[in-house]
Amino acid sequence: MKDQPSPIRETDDDARKLARVLLRSARHAAIAVLDSETGFPFASRVLVATDIDGTPVILVSKLSAHTRALAKDSRASLLTGEPGKGDPLAHPRLTTQCLAEPVERSHAFYDRIRTRFLARHPKANLYVDFPDFLFFRLKPELGSLNGGFGRAYQLEGNDLIIQSAANEEIAACAAETVRDLVERHPDVAQTLAIRLNAPKSASWRICGIDPSGFDLISGDFLLRYEFECLAEEADHICSNISKTAYSIP
């Protein structure tokens, strides 16, 4: 008997880009964890955002089964990528295997993570400060991309992380950067949405920037745009965004 041929294709930059977009454009995900009492694999739904380095972030209740599970065993995976119209398996999706790290209120990253999460999920303002809610950073270890029938790729955790010395500096001035950009170009988010063929909606806004790209949001729609090259400073992000919106080099 012959061995089955490997169904895994060689990972290329297109696969890496697709995987990053699937992870960074998810408003929610299915999370798989190990049940804290039985070790059973347990799938549930969580809201997702990203930290400045692209690491996925979740905000969960300490009373929930997935939080109890992560407190006992930090291994988790996230399934992102929506099925859309037609055959659910024809649409690309990504499984990201992660190690979960709680981000307590005293943590150096806490304010940054809270700010970025709320920019994407403003309704979470209602409960983010409740004492029984907690953030986790889910550090990617491995990715399994299924780009549709017969298009499977394996990724390394580092393929999904933004490796940039500028991360912290950009995070520190992100709100100001976006505010200045919108002051100069009040139509920038709407123009980006049209240029990127986003669904028609009146209220697009930029809800996150990082060295690798930006996130646009309008109601239930979230759109991720990845730059050709990592930005090295906030000005570089602004010029990348302007170029995308107005083709200004």
Residues that bind its own copies (CB under 8 A): 4, 7, 27-28, 30-35, 40-45, 47, 61-65, 75-79, 83, 85-89, 93, 95, 97, 123, 132, 144, 146, 220
- Identity of the residue, 131 or 249, whose beta carbon is nearer to its own copies in the bound complex: 131
DSSP string, 115-168: HHHHHH-GGGGGTTTSTTEEEEEEEEEEEEEE-STT-EEEEEGGGGS---TTHH
Least separation, in Å, of the C-beta of 86 and its own copies?
A: 7
Q: Are 218 and 203 in contact (CB under 8 A)?
A: yes
- Identity of the residue, 143 or 211, whose beta carbon is nearer to its own copies in the bound complex: 143
Cβ count within 10 A of residue 48: 24
- Give every strand in the sheet of 221-226, ordered side by side: 205-210, 213-218, 221-226
Distance CA 50, CA 42 (A): 23
- Identity of the residue, 122 or 186, whose beta carbon is nearer to its own copies in the bound complex: 122
- Identity of the residue, 21 or 34, whose beta carbon is nearer to its own copies in the bound complex: 34
Distance CA 143, CA 16 (A): 10
Least separation, in Å, of the C-beta of 130 and its own copies?
A: 12
Which tokens in the block code for residue 37?
């009492």
Least separation, in Å, of the C-beta of 171 and its own copies?
A: 25
Least separation, in Å, of the C-beta of 140 and its own copies?
A: 12
Least separation, in Å, of the C-beta of 187 and its own copies?
A: 26
- Identity of the residue, 37 or 235, whose beta carbon is nearer to its own copies in the bound complex: 37
Q: What are the distances in angstroms from CA 101 to CA 65, 93, 110, 115? A: 16, 24, 12, 18
Least separation, in Å, of the C-beta of 15 and its own copies?
A: 16
- Identity of the residue, 97 or 239, whose beta carbon is nearer to its own copies in the bound complex: 97
Distance CA 124, CA 119 (A): 10
